[in-house]
């Protein structure tokens, strides 16, 4: 018999199995049976979701061996995944629970659903899309089958074609169908069991007509049936921007004013009380940062893709991105969301309208930036310095400089950043910002550890 605590940790498709679980089927981090085993360069295998969270948290060592990682590439362990799948199937077949349970039946095979979607023409593809989404969400379906459907079955291409239909086709492509198509593709790119090569099929299929894809995703975000649908659309747009191979595809998506406006709306309050939804804020900020941040305020002369990003940043500012990002920065506790909010503000500081919006509410905005400077990872810290440098040093706004000087812990955080191994550009900006603070030995010692005062530039 499986111990009670072990049974509670099993994924849904393995619960109720009265068998002994081989130890090497368990992820060393979560101790769950691995759904998508991947190996690090140290040779240790983990579940993809667990090790990805470890790496995203800024760790640079193997959690099992604590050895430094010269590479963070994750290599799928197909042999182990196949063994786990065969073990689960044989154990389930011999389990009384499985034997007595009823097997759900589908109205159509997944392959026939894909064919229906591809050949839908004037017919509404929404029912087939919803059934396909349910299939991809089913934990009892083997990942090999899902990968085969997305790869050889060309499911990604067929579903993306629904999103690429032009506005002239809108009467035959309902909001429900577009929302269901976005849900299917979002499940593909978010699934740990889908191979990276198959996920790239999604971005390639959307990038075939990035402008039409962006317009459809904005439509879902504007008229979707629920917040989850809007979040799926934002994540899918962010995936397109992060993975599109051609600059013109990125520019086409970045130049969608409807998409920018809906992303700003997504990171705002979801009710009359001003409540922010964590998933919506992170998805919206991540996509908005991908659109607006082709470089930073200190980047050299802009190439075409950077000009498109600046235009997108200006559009975002006009739709209230500065206020929304500052509110999210102040209220979020998630380092990833804070880093993305700081990147959006960095992009805003690169245009006159954005700087005006930042300086108009300097006390709140600058205080939020300083407060999250060392709480949003290296990416967020460098973006925070870029924002402060742009408004306080380069453009010398008095309100911003006074707010930065008055912000609690600003001097200490800048000194820490200079010591932290940041990029040369961020270090130079931090050193220039330090000159704003009129400090002497006593004030420095009062606010900072004396062991680190040797880094003072004056």
pLDDT band at 235 (very low <50, low <70, confident <90, very high): very high
Tokens of 152: 């050889």
Mean pLDDT score, 189-199: 87
Task: Provide the pLDDT confidence category of residue 457 given band limits of 50, 70 and 90.
Answer: very low
CA gyration radius, the chain: 25
The mean pLDDT of 230-244, rounded to a whole number, is: 89
Confidence of residue 106 (pLDDT cuts 50, 70, 90): low
H or E element that contains 45: strand 45-47
Query: For position 358, what pLDDT does the model report?
Result: 94
Kindly tell me if the per-residue pLDDT of 71 is higher than 60: yes
- Helix axis angle, 398-406 to 352-360, nearest 10°: 50
Give yes or no for a contact between 418 and 381, defined as CB atoms under 8 angstroms apart.
no
Which phi and psi angles does 201 have, rounded to 5°? -60, -35
Kindly indicate the confidence band of residue 292, based on its pLDDT and cuts at 50, 70 and 90.
confident
Instruction: Give the relative orientation of helices 377-388 and 424-434 as an angle to the nearest 10 degrees.
Output: 50
Calpha distance 123→217 (Å, rounded): 21
pLDDT digits (tens, 9 = 90+) for 9-54: 445 554 444 457 788 888 888 888 888 899 999 999 999 888 988 9
Chain-centroid distance of CA 353 in Å reads 27
Q: Which 3 state secondary structure label does DSSP give 39?
A: strand
Average pLDDT, the chain: 81
Asked if the model's pLDDT at residue 179 lies above 90, the reply is yes
pLDDT attached to residue 145: 84
Q: What is the pLDDT of residue 385?
A: 95
Tokens at 324, concatenated: 């929304």
Whether pLDDT at 324 is above 50: yes
Q: What is the pLDDT of residue 355?
A: 93
If phi > 0 it is left, if psi is from -120 to 50 it is alpha, else beta; for residue 268 that is beta
The per-residue pLDDT for 438 is 59
What are the C-alpha distances in Å from 106 to residues 138, 187, 258? 12, 19, 37
pTM over 0.75: no
- Taking the CB of residue 435, how many other CB atoms lie within 10 A of it? 10
375-419 residue pLDDT tens: 998 899 999 999 999 999 899 899 999 899 888 888 889 988 888
Q: What is the pLDDT of residue 333?
A: 84
Residue 241 has pLDDT above 90, yes or no: no
Strand order in the sheet with 45-47: 45-47, 37-39, 75-76
At 65 the pLDDT is 87
Contact 43, 75 (CB under 8 A): no
Q: Is residue 76 scored above 50 in pLDDT?
A: yes
Supply the pLDDT for residue 458. Answer: 35
Mean pLDDT of 75-101: 69
Cβ-contact 129, 175 below 8 angstroms: no
Share of the chain above pLDDT 90, in %: 34
Closest residue by Cα to residue 396 from 355, 424, 425, 344: 355
Instruction: Report in angstroms the alpha-carbon separations of 97 from 106, 325, 345, 356.
Output: 21, 50, 54, 65
Of 205, 231, 227, the C-alpha closest to 217 is 231
Residues facing residue 75 across a β-bridge: 39
Confidence (pLDDT) at 178: 93
């Amino acid at each position: 018999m499986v111990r009670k605590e072990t049974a509670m940790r099993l994924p849904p498709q393995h619960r109720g199995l009265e068998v002994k679980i081989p130890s090497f089927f368990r992820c060393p981090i979560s101790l769950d049976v691995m759904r998508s085993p991947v190996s690090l360069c140290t040779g240790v295998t983990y579940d993809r979701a667990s090790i990805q969270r470890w790496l995203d948290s800024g760790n640079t060592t193997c959690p099992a061996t604590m050895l430094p990682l010269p590479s963070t590439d994750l290599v799928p362990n197909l042999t182990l995944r196949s063994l786990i799948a065969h073990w689960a199937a044989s154990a389930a077949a011999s389990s009384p629970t499985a034997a007595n349970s009823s097997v759900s039946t589908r109205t159509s095979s997944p392959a026939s659903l894909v064919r229906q979607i591809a050949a839908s023409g004037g017919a509404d593809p929404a029912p087939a899309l919803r059934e396909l989404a349910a299939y991809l969400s089913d934990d009892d379906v083997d990942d090999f089958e899902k990968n085969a459907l997305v790869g050889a079955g060309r499911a990604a291409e067929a579903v993306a074609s629904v999103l690429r239909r032009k506005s002239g086709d809108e009467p035959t492509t309902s909001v429900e169908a577009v929302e269901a198509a976005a849900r299917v593709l979002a499940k593909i790119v978010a699934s740990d069991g889908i191979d990276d090569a198959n996920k790239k099929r999604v971005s390639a299929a959307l990038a075939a007509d990035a402008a039409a894809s962006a317009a459809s995703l904005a439509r879902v975000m504007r008229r979707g049936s629920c917040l989850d649908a809007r979040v799926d659309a934002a994540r899918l747009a962010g995936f397109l921007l992060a993975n599109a191979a051609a600059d013109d595809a990125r520019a086409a998506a970045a130049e969608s004013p409807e998409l920018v406006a809906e992303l700003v709306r997504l990171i705002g309050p979801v009710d009359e009380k001003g409540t922010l939804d964590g998933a919506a804020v992170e998805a919206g900020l991540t996509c908005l940062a991908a659109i607006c941040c082709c470089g930073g305020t200190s980047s050299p002369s802009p190439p075409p893709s950077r000009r498109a990003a600046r235009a997108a940043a200006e559009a975002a500012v006009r739709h209230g991105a500065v206020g929304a990002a500052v509110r999210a920065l102040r209220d979020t506790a998630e380092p990833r969301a804070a880093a993305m909010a700081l990147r959006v503000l960095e992009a805003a500081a690169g245009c006159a309208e954005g700087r005006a919006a930042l300086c108009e509410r300097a006390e709140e905005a600058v205080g939020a930036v300083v407060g999250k400077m060392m709480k949003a990872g290296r990416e967020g810290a460098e973006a925070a310095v870029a924002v402060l440098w742009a408004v306080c040093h380069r453009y010398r706004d008095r309100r911003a400089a006074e707010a930065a000087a008055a912000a609690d812990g600003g001097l200490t955080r800048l000194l820490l950043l200079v010591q932290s191994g940041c990029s040369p550009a961020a270090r130079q900006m931090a050193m220039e910002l330090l000159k704003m603070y009129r400090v002497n030995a006593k004030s420095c010692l009062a606010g900072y550890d004396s062991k680190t005062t040797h880094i003072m530039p004056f």
